[in-house]
Amino acid sequence: MTALIDSVLDRHRSDYLRDWPVARPQPWPAAPLEQPTDRWMEELVPLLTADGPLFGRLAVIGLCLLEPEVAGVAERWGLVAGLAHEVHPTLTDFLTPVGLRLLRRRAPLAALSLGLLPRAVDLLGLPGEGAAFHLALARQAAEPRGRIGRWAAAFDGGVYVGSGASSRRIVEVPVQGMGWSRGGQLHAGQSLGGLIVYDPASDQLDVDESWPAADCVAVGETALAVGAAAGADAWWGVTDGGAPVRLGERFPFEGGVEAIALGGEQVAVAHHGEVYAGGPTGSGSCWHTHRKARYGSRRPRTTF
């Protein structure tokens, strides 16, 4: 199956996913099921409507959905969502009810981006506080399908923590970014300095004053990173009690950290029109220029 997917993508390098950052998923699952191409095409029949010919993008999406492990890899690399948004008029015009169920089950992010997943919670704007600036979801593994568990939302006037459809405000200060640790604690960086740490299990709220003022914040389950206000530098630390470590010893990020992103212990910093990637001091990673950033005065949205 994966060889068939790759052959279609290779044939259409010039017209499929031209704006997508990844050419193809790597690596595919090991030891995939093998059978003749005609058999794979037969397995697509229950997923697709009978109207019109089978075309390449639709075939790749259908093939990805046939096997859960293949669908998982394609989902993580954005292949299903990328191709789905190139299908016209819409992907739903070509999927049977069986195909739609597989899409929702095995490629939920793609289904969400197409508006095909029902909302679990409607987060409405609060009177006098406008729209939410930041949203963060805790681990949802224990929640039934179609339900949402712990979440947080930051408005201009404060931070709200919720579970399902209920919520309450925990602090009345603006934050620059936030996220949940693996231990289930919410971490939020403040523009005036200090890291807010909230534990919903004990309803305890603490502020770690060792963290600098934040202009941009990235929080993962095991680590977090902060771009300091006024462009002073960038900082890294572990969640649930780690002290901040200055990142700019080799390449000081003085004068403007436009955005920051986090992937495990690896950090990316957008600084003066370039993107630097590396790790915290002492980790053995060297900071280096990753690429010239394609933006002008607009702040980039940087993610891992």
Residue pLDDT tens, the chain, 304 long: 888 888 888 888 888 887 766 556 668 888 667 889 889 989 999 999 877 678 889 999 999 999 999 999 898 888 998 899 888 888 988 999 999 999 999 998 889 888 888 776 666 555 566 778 899 999 887 777 667 889 999 988 789 998 887 888 999 888 999 999 999 999 999 988 899 999 999 999 999 999 988 889 999 999 999 987 665 688 899 999 888 988 866 566 766 788 898 887 788 888 777 788 877 754 444 566 655 444 343 333 433 3
Task: Specify the pLDDT at position 293.
Answer: 41
Task: Specify the pLDDT at position 196.
Answer: 95
Task: Specify the pLDDT at position 46.
Answer: 92
CA distances from 167 to 96, 98, 146, 154 (A): 38, 36, 18, 12
Whether the predicted model's global pTM rises above the 0.75 cut: no
Helices (H) and strands (E) in the chain, counts: 7, 16
Q: What is the DSSP letter of 213?
A: P
Q: How far apart are CA 287 and CA 281, in angstroms?
A: 10
